[in-house]
Amino acid sequence: SNLFWKKLQNLSQTIFPLCLTQKSASDYNNFDREFLSEKPKLSYSDKNLIESMDQSAFDGFSFINPKFEQILDK
């Protein structure tokens, strides 16, 4: 409805049901402990599938996570 969009236009009048706080970039207190105890797994990426997809949405996108570059340099 239009009412929702009008509220979005003026966010100062919008009451959010949940406001999470973050003490630092590495603060993980808002995540469930059970989730944090899981072993991380790298996602498999099919190079052929990725190359067959339209990549134009990423034109001009050049961000590379500096931490990832450090891993590659090792």
36-64 pLDDT, tens digit each: 888 888 777 788 888 888 888 888 888 77
Closest to 31 measured CA to CA, from 40, 22, 42: 22
3-state secondary structure string across 12-72? HHCCCCCCCCCCCCCCCCCCCHHHHCCCCCCCCCCHHHHHHCCCHHHCCCCCCCHHHHHHH
Domain count, the chain: 1
User: What is the span of the domain harbouring residue 12?
Assistant: 2-71
pLDDT value, residue 19: 80
